[in-house]
């Protein structure tokens, strides 16, 4: 101890000391606050700086730790640690290995507001209506739940850097699925490990008993039910360890989240068992409208999943195996009417890679009728999840997906989500299939009257130039009428290009292609319909009312204008286009 204190040096609120056994070029450094009086501590980050582990201690008790690229100087951005819940207590942040002379502790900011507020959402490659975190990395959407007019969106989040790591749950809320208010991270790592993917529900009848002071309205229903989210805890110990399933809950409509002291509610079983999707199954055979139980769909290992049942969200029993789904991870399960007919219902079991099964479910056993089918054809689309507790008066099955693998050069955030999508089941010549289309709320972003354009193809060497396209944010409806031509010739290709991204349709092979991402697409009465939605770093394609969906990220580094062109064999097809310019959800962005 004497040897350590001999090297103490005070740096404002920071303390630097050398540690035996560590090179003189690296040191342990600490930052202290004797009495916490602000809500946030903003920590400087520089992408590419040496990584170090930082431990958070409150009144001498370790709360958690995270790995971060601490900025020795000139930070790229600030990451926010919420400390307001420990007001009046002593905070010590200890970085275990930083370069001697680092000034990160001098750069720390204390505030009651989230960091960099004046800079957020104004970055060059910031998506303008696709969700991306204000700072840090994101991947899977989690805990999608609707309650009292608010959509809650949780997401896998690394608050401390733009690469995967330090998995927590970020949290944002919206009234319209478009304009998001991102708050502090909601679910943090704890003694059971870091926080992987999961889902959320409203426990309307307080079956869990987590609401210890239930209030009832005039009809006798609980007016303050708990919101409950489930996630996989990974006992990482700075690596990847065994997984178990945990829950957190909120008693104030999602503002604050409490770690259930009895976690885990489902211990490790096999392989990577993870990503719990929980939903309520109403017993249709009972006269009691409240009769039913909770169901958890869980990924196990390989291509195998399982279903569990619970009366109270806490005690679970395994009831069913679902094998050979064709993919792994991130299950979802929901019931939909076929062609809108509520007397003709099917259940959909969904996996992380967009494969799905169609079948029936009696509350315990899922019986496969057909599949696996796919909604994913390569590109940037993974780990989709749908909302729970959407009101019956709305009736939609709304889904978000992670646009995996996108690039955002030199940005203080990384990755984004797709636009929200509405899922339906419809009869086709091949059988019942899942369709997905952008939610109707997207149309609220249209800031221009429709620009209409129609023309006949003028030949491969004479591409049509579509007029009146302005800006980077566009919603385009395009119809390709093949004019009754013979479709078997595989050399007949209708091509469109926008922002350097090529979309083509091969009439002979009956395949749609977006930038090398291909999918089978059969014309309907010699017609192909496309919905194309573009943002600063992405393009999403919905074909023939959503039987095919392709999501792709791209970087428009040269800020190339739309300049949409269409080409193909002369007089082979008639093109009709209706286009709209969209607004940014961030003030004063897109002009």
Task: Indicate the residue among 59, 79, 111 that finishes a domain.
Answer: 111
Judgement on whether residues 423 and 570 belong to the same structural domain of the protein: no
What's this model's pTM, rounded to 2 decimal places?
A: 0.93
Looking at residue 353, its pLDDT comes to 93
Judgement on whether residues 431 and 310 belong to the same structural domain of the protein: yes
Residue 357 CA: distances (Å) to CA of 320, 348, 390: 15, 6, 22
Residue 181 within any structural domain of the chain? no
* 330 preceded by a cis bond (ω within 30 of 0): no
Looking at residue 451, its pLDDT comes to 94
Q: Is the Cβ–Cβ distance between 141 and 155 less than 8 Å? A: yes
Q: Please say if 389 is a catalytic residue.
A: no
Residue 11 within any structural domain of the chain? yes
Over the stretch 325-361, which tens digit does the pLDDT of each residue have? 999 999 999 999 999 999 999 999 999 999 999 999 9
Judgement on whether residues 412 and 499 belong to the same structural domain of the protein: no
Judgement on whether residues 420 and 549 belong to the same structural domain of the protein: no
Classify each residue of 236-271 as buried b or exposed e, where b means 16 or more C-beta atoms within 10 Å of its C-beta. Answer: beeeeebbbbbbbbbbebbeebeebeebbbbebeee
Task: Indicate the residue among 91, 111, 131 that finishes a domain.
Answer: 111
Judgement on whether residues 434 and 498 belong to the same structural domain of the protein: no
- Domain of 321? 203-440
Looking at residue 10, its pLDDT comes to 30
Judgement on whether residues 421 and 514 belong to the same structural domain of the protein: no
The CATH number that applies at residue 338 is 2.115.10.20
471 φψ region: left (φ > 0), alpha (ψ -120 to 50), beta (else): left
**Mean pLDDT lowest for which of 122-131, 510-519, 582-591?**
582-591
Longest dimension (CA), the chain: 90
Over the stretch 542-569, which tens digit does the pLDDT of each residue have? 999 999 999 999 998 777 778 899 999 9
The CATH number that applies at residue 94 is 2.60.40
Model confidence at 571, pLDDT cuts 50, 70, 90, reads confident
Q: Over 70: is that where the pLDDT of 220 sits?
A: yes
Residue 323 CA: distances (Å) to CA of 240, 349, 368, 371: 25, 11, 10, 12
Q: Look up residue 301 and give its DSSP letter.
A: E
Judgement on whether residues 7 and 80 belong to the same structural domain of the protein: yes
- The residue with tokens 């749950």 is 169
Catalytic residue among 140, 185, 275, 475: 140
Residue 77 within any structural domain of the chain? yes
Three-state DSSP class for residue 589: coil
Looking at residue 106, its pLDDT comes to 94
Total tally of structural domains belonging to the chain: 3
Judgement on whether residues 314 and 421 belong to the same structural domain of the protein: yes
């Amino acid at each position: 101890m004497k040897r350590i204190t001999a090297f103490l040096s005070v740096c404002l609120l920071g303390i630097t000391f050398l540690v035996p056994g560590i090179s003189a070029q690296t040191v342990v450094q600490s930052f202290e606050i004797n009495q916490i009086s602000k809500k946030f501590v903003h920590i400087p980050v520089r992408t590419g700086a040496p990584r170090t582990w930082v431990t958070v201690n409150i009144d001498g008790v370790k709360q958690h730790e995270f790995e971060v690229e601490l900025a020795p100087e000139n930070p790229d951005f600030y990451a926010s640690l919420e400390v307001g819940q420990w007001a009046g207590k002593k905070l010590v942040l200890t970085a275990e290995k930083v370069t001697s002379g680092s000034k990160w502790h001098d750069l720390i900011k204390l505030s009651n507001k989230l960091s960099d507020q004046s800079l957020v959402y104004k970055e060059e490659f910031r998506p303008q209506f696709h969700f991306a975190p204000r700072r840090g990395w994101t991947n899977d959407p989690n805990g999608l739940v609707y309650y009292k007019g608010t959509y809650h969106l949780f997401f896998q989040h690394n608050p401390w850097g733009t690469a995967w790591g330090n998995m927590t749950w970020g949290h944002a809320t919206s009234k319209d699925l478009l304009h998001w208010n991102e708050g502090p991270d909601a679910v943090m790592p704890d003694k059971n490990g870091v926080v992987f993917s999961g889902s959320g529900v409203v426990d309307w009848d307080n079956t869990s008993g987590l609401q210890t002071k239930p209030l009832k309205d005039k009809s006798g229903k609980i007016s303050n039910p708990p919101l409950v989210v489930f996630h996989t805890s990974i006992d990482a110990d700075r690596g990847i360890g065994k997984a178990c399933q945990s829950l957190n809950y909120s008693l104030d409509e999602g503002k604050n989240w409490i770690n259930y002291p009895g976690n885990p509610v489902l211990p490790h079983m096999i392989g990577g068992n993870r990503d719990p999707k929980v939903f309520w199954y109403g017993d249709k055979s009972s006269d009691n409208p409240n009769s039913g139980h909770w169901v958890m769909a869980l990924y196990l290992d390989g291509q195998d999943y399982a279903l569990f049942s619970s009366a109270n969200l806490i005690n679970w029993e395994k009831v069913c195996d679902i094998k050979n789904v064709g993919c792994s991870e991130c299950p979802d399960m929901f019931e939909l009417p076929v062609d809108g007919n509520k007397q003709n219902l099917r259940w959909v079991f969904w996996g992380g890679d967009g494969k799905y099964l169609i079948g029936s479910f009696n509350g315990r056993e899922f019986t496969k009728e057909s599949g696996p089918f796919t909604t994913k054809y390569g590109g940037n689309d993974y780990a989709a999840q749908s909302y729970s507790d959407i009101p019956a008066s709305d009736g939609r099955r709304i889904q978000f997906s992670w646009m995996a693998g996108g690039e955002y050069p030199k940005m203080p955030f990384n990755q984004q989500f797709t636009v929200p999508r509405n899922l339906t089941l419809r009869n086709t010549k091949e059988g019942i299939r899942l369709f997905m289309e952008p939610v109707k709320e997207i149309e609220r972003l249209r800031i221009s009257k429709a620009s209409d354009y129609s023309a006949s193809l003028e030949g491969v060497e004479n591409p049509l130039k579509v007029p009146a396209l302005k800006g980077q944010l566009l919603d385009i409806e395009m119809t390709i009428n093949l004019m009754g031509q013979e479709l078997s010739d595989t050399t007949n290709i209708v091509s469109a290009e926008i922002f350097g991204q090529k979309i083509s349709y091969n009439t002979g092979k009956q395949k749609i292609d977006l930038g090398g991402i291909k999918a089978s697409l059969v014309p309907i009465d010699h017609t192909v319909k496309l919905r194309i939605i573009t943002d600063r770093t992405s393009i999403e394609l919905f074909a023939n009312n959503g039987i095919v969906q392709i999501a792709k990220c791209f970087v428009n580094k040269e800020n190339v204008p739309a300049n949409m062109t269409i080409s193909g064999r002369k007089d082979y097809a008639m093109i009709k286009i209706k286009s709209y310019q969209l607004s940014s959800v961030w003030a004063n962005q897109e002009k």
